[in-house]
Structures are given as structure tokens and as C-alpha cells.
Amino acid sequence: MSEKGKGKVEVFDSEEDLSVSLAKYTADLADKFSKEKGSFTVVLSGGSLIKSLRKVVEPPYVDAVDWSTWHVFWVDERVVPKDHDDSNYKLAFDGFLSKVPILPGKVYAINDALPAEGAADDYETCLKHLVKSNVISVSAATGFPKFDLMLLGMGPDGHVASLFPGHENEKWVTFIKDSPKPPPERITFTFPVINSSADVALVVCGAGKASPVHPALGNDQNSDPLPVGLVFGQGYSFQAVSCML
């Protein structure tokens, strides 16, 4: 999606239906990219997204997907140890990664021994190495890394990743120490990276999130832009919404 409002919007009656559709969408994209280039780079969010991904680690997908081609990243992470209940890595490990044979060397968690700024720099350096070794491509349009699929959630305040209202940055990975949603210290991909992805799935579930998602769908031109309204994609974008709009 290169312009706001050009994404495909799917609205589901239930979170169960959303989850079934998200599994097919993710598995189909993994298959497409794996056949085209032998790898699939996917970026996870924390929060409710991991629960919504549950069907992809169940039959038929769990057996049909070629997990050996997957490279897994995080769009944002809390600066806590990997075994902490607030860790997005732990959430993804418990609900997703522990159920599939993705090679541990292709799972790129943040360095949890570093403080926020160091962890953000370290993750950006890791991405730059992976660009050099052609694991991650670069967007010809933006010069930023181009992941195959960015799986985004959205908070009730309209935040995506750990990009809260008023946040701007031209780095690949940045950090915050004052997140309005606990825990306060986080690292996060920036909008140029998010918006350079080949595909972006914005997975939003629940009536409480109906109002902030309107700008992302191009339905509300007048209100102040929320972070979710700044999400675009370079290619086909899938936005799954199960709330009343």
C-alpha cells in the first residue's frame, strides 16, 4: 500500500475468524517469499497479536509451512530480561516459537543485557549485518530495510510497536524510557522501517479499539494523527479488524 487508504480491510465477526484468516494470510506469504527467494523475514509485535497468530501453529499450517526459511524479528521490545512476563520475546516464545521448528539462530531477540539506548543500537547493528549478508533486503524506494511481513498490533490509544503519539525518528531502531504503557523502557522499529515492509498486517481486535483505527483506514481526515494513522506499506497490506467500525 503506497498511499493511505489503499490497503485491503477485512472485518471479522469474531476473533476466532480473524485468527483463521491471519493464519492463512501468513502461511501463504511465507510460502510465496520462501519460493521466490528461499527465505521469509517476519516481524512480530507483542500484545494480543501473538494470540491471534495461534492458528498458524496448529494443523494444517504447522505441518505444511516450511519453518526452516523463517527469520523472526520484533517490531518492539520491552527492556526487561527475556524470561520476564513483560517480555515480547517471552510472549512470542510461549505462544508461537516454542511450537514450531524455527532455527534458534534465525530468531533475532534483543540483547537483554543492555540498557535501552544500547539495546536499540545493538539491534540496529544486527539488522545492518543481516542487510549486508542479504538476509534482509533493502527498499529501493526508501533505503530502509524491507521485511517481507510486518505483523502489527495496535493499542487502545492508537499506538503501534512502541511508537506513541508525537514520536518521530529517522533511525532504524530507537528507544524510549517513558512509555505511557508500562513497562517504561522499550526499543522499537521506526515508521520508515515499518512502512518499507513488503507487506503490513495491522491486526486489531476488540470494540475498544474501534475509534483509533479509523484514521488508519482513511475514514477520519479531521482528527490529530495517531501513530496507527502513520502506518503505510509498500505493497499489498492486510488490515484485519474485528471490531464495529
Ligand X SMILES: O=C1O[C@H](COP(=O)(O)O)[C@@H](O)[C@H](O)[C@H]1O
Cα(116)–Cα(174) distance, integer angstroms:
9
User: Binding marks (x or -) toward ligand X, 73..102, rule CB under 6 A?
Assistant: ---x-----------x--------------
Question: Of the candidates 22, 33, 53, 153, which one interacts with ligand X according to CB under 6 A?
Answer: 153
Cα(92)–Cα(44) distance, integer angstroms:
8
Residue 28: what are its φ and ψ, rounded to 5°? -65, -45
Residue 62 or 114: which CB sits closer to ligand X?
A: 114
Please report whether residue 239 would count as binding ligand X according to CB under 6 A. Answer: no
Residue 45 or 69: which CB sits closer to ligand X?
A: 45
Q: In angstroms, give the least distance from the CB of 57 to ligand X.
A: 18
Q: In angstroms, give the least distance from the CB of 49 to ligand X.
A: 6
Number of residues that bind ligand X (CB under 6 A): 13
Question: Of the candidates 181, 211, 220, 245, which one interacts with ligand X according to CB under 6 A?
Answer: 181
Q: Which stretch binds ligand X (CB under 6 A): 21-29, 45-53, 54-62, 141-149?
A: 45-53
Q: Which stretch binds ligand X (CB under 6 A): 21-29, 123-131, 151-159, 234-242?
A: 151-159
Please report whether residue 195 would count as binding ligand X according to CB under 6 A. Answer: no
β-sheet bridge partners, residue 215: none
Please report whether residue 45 would count as binding ligand X according to CB under 6 A. Answer: yes
Which among 229, 188, 184 is positioned nearest to 7, based on CA atoms?
A: 229
Question: Of the candidates 48, 234, 237, 242, which one interacts with ligand X according to CB under 6 A?
Answer: 48
Residue 48 or 190: which CB sits closer to ligand X?
A: 48
The residues, ordered by sequence, that sit 6+ positions from 163 with a Cβ below 8 Å of its Cβ are 76, 188, 190, 191, 227, 230
Residue 50 or 198: which CB sits closer to ligand X?
A: 50
Q: Summarize as ranges the residues that interact with ligand X (CB under 6 A).
A: 45-49, 76, 88, 153-155, 161-162, 181
